[in-house]
Structure 1
């Protein structure tokens, strides 16, 4: 049985449910539709999911989630 974990979206602070999370899993925030990647399991943390083949736009290069320096 898969576990269901819940964490906050780093973009909009909305709740994101993740079924059976693993590092590298990509999920979409149901509130803001940002694609996020699981970067930590304990605690569960999400961060922006950038395509490694794609150059980030200039305004995306310095994106930092709220509450982080």
Structure 2
């Protein structure tokens, strides 16, 4: 869960590429464990990444998070 928070911190620090790279790992863990707290943290990350939702990095995040949101 702390790694998910690290991704959100990267997004808040205006480092969206780093946030997405961290999210790749977190999303895989969230799908595997079905951790509700981790999914909530990923939702927080998604909100923090809104400024980049139309950019390639934002579309990458949407793709990465798709398996997580499909499972909920």
From the two aligned structures, give the one with the greater strand fraction: 1
From the two aligned structures, give the one with the greater helix fraction: 2
Q: Which TM-score applies when normalising by structure 2?
A: 0.27
Pick the structure with greater CA Rg: 1
Higher relative contact order (CA 8 A, sep 6+): 2
Q: Which TM-score applies when normalising by structure 1?
A: 0.27
